Amino acid sequence: MNRETTFWSIVTALALAGILVLYAQHAGLFDQEKAQTVTSEAQASTADSPDPLSLDCVEHSGLARHDHITLQVFIDGNPYVVESAIGIQTDACNGNENYMHTIHTHDDTGRLHIELNDPGNISLGVFFDIWGHHFNETGIFDYRVNATHEMVMHVHASGESATEDNRVTSFDDYLLQNGEVIEVHYRTKAN
């Protein structure tokens, strides 16, 4: 390689590096405060501070409450599978199949089993704490509400459809009732 070719190769490499630095600066990658905010928002999860009921274990004998609801989750219109055996044979419940969390699944149909030793209410957020995923009005899983996306939740009877009349805004605080269908949507905002 001759000197002139080497010189122009170096100039080209420096120019490309300069363009990349300018782009990164424009995107805010060098703004420490912004970078920390984005990182902490992405890592913050409601499952990091679980509801005490999510740590309770129940035995199938002598239950004060045994209800069922159906949970359907959609991410950008695509169904998300609510896995089987959530809340069964966990470390918190001694890994024993006879001791399960207060809300658990047996299959991947989205049917949640709500079981309590004592009468009382339980919120949807407890299930997400057991599952170990973020869920509230700010987002679900690793998806967060932003300028282009929103969270929408509907609660209706089996056989009915989601409408504005059955839209709720309580998300993780919603108290579960037997026989309900709960639809959670993380979706593009309507214009």
Residues 139-149: tens digit of each pLDDT:
999 999 999 99
Provide the residue range defining the domain that includes 26: 3-43
pTM: 0.76
Residues of the chain with pLDDT > 70, as a percent, come to: 88
Per-residue pLDDT averaged across 45-60, rounded? 88
Residues 101 and 183 reside in one and the same domain: yes
- Hey, is 153 helix, strand or coil? strand
Distance (Å, whole) CA 160 – CA 45: 32
User: Is residue 88 pLDDT above 50, yes or no?
Assistant: yes
pLDDT of residue 30: 57
Handedness of CA 166, 170, 172, 176 (dihedral sign): negative
Give the count of domains, the chain. 2
Residues 83 and 173 in one domain: yes
Whether residue 14 sits in one domain with residue 70: no
Shared domain check, 26 and 88: no
107 against 20, higher pLDDT: 107
Cβ neighbourhood burial of 122 (10 Å; 0-12, 13-18, 19+): buried
What span, in angstroms and rounded, lies between the C-alpha atoms of 12 and 62? 76
Do 7 and 23 fall within a single domain?
yes
pLDDT classification of 27: cutoffs 50, 70, 90:
low
Q: What pLDDT is recorded for position 29? A: 62
Cα separations in angstroms, 137 against 13, 69, 79: 46, 20, 19
In this structure, how many other beta carbons lie within 10 angstroms of the beta carbon of residue 9?
11
The confidence band for 36, taking pLDDT boundaries of 50, 70 and 90, is very low
pLDDT of 73: 98
On whether the CB atoms of residues 172 and 136 are closer than 8 A, the answer is yes
Rounded to 5 degrees, φ, ψ at 54 are -75, -15
154 three-state secondary structure: strand
Quick one: pLDDT at residue 1? 67
Q: What mean pLDDT comes out for the span 161-169?
A: 95
pLDDT band at 191 (very low <50, low <70, confident <90, very high): confident
